[in-house]
Amino acid sequence: MEHYLPIAFLNDFIFCPRSIYYHQLYRNYRSSVYKAAPQYKGLHAHKAIDQKRYSSKKSILQGYEVYSEKYRLHGKIDTFDQESGILTERKRAIKTIYDGYIFQLYGQYFCLTEMGFSVEKLQFYDMTHNKVYPVMLPHEDHEMRAKFELLINQINHYDLLDTPFTPLLAKCQNCIYSQLCDRSLC
């Protein structure tokens, strides 16, 4: 069976490569065991998409399952307007647009284009501030595309036991898996 990475892992791996491992440990548990308020707020913000209530317009795909053979990725998009070609990733609130956010959008882009859709524009939508942030397409930003491909390679070759880990206090303090990690490091 082929191994496909969830698109969400792209951002999670940048935050902390170990978080992917811990997330897998909790996969069969109720989310209340490990999720904190920010995760619940994010889930609530995506409720309309997940329930396909965001729009009744037939040309808008919402919560649509996507995959890429080339990059071995799979996941769901938030919204894609087939008429305008706009792929939108909705965030509850955006303070900073991190590389991981962009890489998730790139993953969705590559999945959709490989599946035959014509994606003309990428953007983030900040729901709290009602603000749109455009993102260059991968072929327009060669540096970010190279970083995207490097990240996928790093994830595919990551070995939890063999890869040195340097904790970052600011990240470890905000990690929902901190109780599982070697606390003496943080």
> pLDDT, tens digit, for every residue of 117-133?
999 999 999 999 999 99
Percent of the chain with pLDDT over 90: 52
How many angstroms from the chain centroid is the CA of residue 185?
27
Task: Strand 131-135: give its sheet, edge to edge.
Answer: 60-62, 79-81, 86-91, 121-126, 131-135
How many angstroms from the chain centroid is the CA of residue 76?
9
CA 128, CA 95: separation in Å to the nearest integer?
Answer: 11
For helices 142-156 and 99-114, angle between their N-to-C axes, nearest 10 degrees:
90
- C-beta atoms surrounding 94 within 10 Å: 18
Q: pLDDT tier at 166 (50, 70, 90 boundaries)?
A: confident
In this prediction, residue 58 carries a pLDDT of 82
Q: pLDDT tier at 115 (50, 70, 90 boundaries)?
A: very high
> pLDDT, tens digit, for every residue of 62-113?
999 999 999 999 999 999 999 999 999 999 899 999 999 999 999 999 999 9
CA 114, CA 41: separation in Å to the nearest integer?
Answer: 32
CA 106, CA 135: separation in Å to the nearest integer?
Answer: 9
Tokens of 68: 């890429």
